[in-house]
Amino acid sequence: MDPLTIAATAVALPIMKKALEKTGEKIGERVFEKTEKFLNMLKIRSPDTASAIQKANLDNLDFNKTVSEVAELTKTDDEFNRITKELIKEAQKDQNAKLNEIINEIANDIYFEKSINPNFNKIAEKIGLVVQGGVVSIQNINV
């Protein structure tokens, strides 16, 4: 995965965790543990970004800014990059269908988007729709 996909997925996971719990669904214990480890490391490396993610729901998070900050950390901080990749690896193994759908959607949307700075706020909207049981397809991500 490229740094933007890694970052977008990592940012989405804590939000997905909260959203899924509200609907009564659970994610695996290992994903929960790795999410907490990711957030704890992020608190040390970028406290404002960690705070924004923890307070966020999909309506009030500047997903573009947050993903950019996390992507930059994954490029410049080897330990943070390792922890972030561990989180994503565990999430990809999780049996929660909605979680897996979001991970795949993020990867596909970024892969097929040719621009350097995709609009992650559109991905955030998609996450909300999937969690709530809707289906949406992003045809174009604009910069």
Is the CB of residue 74 less than 8 Å from the CB of residue 81? Answer: yes
Higher pLDDT, 91 or 5: 91
Residue-wise pLDDT for 84-130, tens only, equals 889 888 888 888 887 788 777 777 766 555 444 555 556 666 656 55
From residue 136, alpha-carbon distances to 68, 77, 141, 142 in Å are 24, 34, 13, 16
Instruction: Report pLDDT for 42.
Output: 92
7 token code pair: 């970052």
Per-state percent for the chain, helix, strand, coil, to nearest 5: 75, 0, 25
More confident site: 59 or 7: 7
To 5 degrees, how large is the angle CA 31–CA 87–CA 114? 125
Of 47, 49, 61, 48, which Cα lies nearest the Cα of 18? 61
- Give the C-alpha separation, 86 to 81, whole Å: 9
pLDDT in tens, 17-60: 777 777 777 778 888 898 899 999 999 999 998 888 887 665 66
Structure token digits, residue 104: 């795949």
Q: At residue 92, what is the residue type? A: Q
CA angle in degrees (0–180, nearest 5) for 102-83-65: 60
Tokens of 2: 């490229």
Please tell me the pTM assigned to this model.
0.71
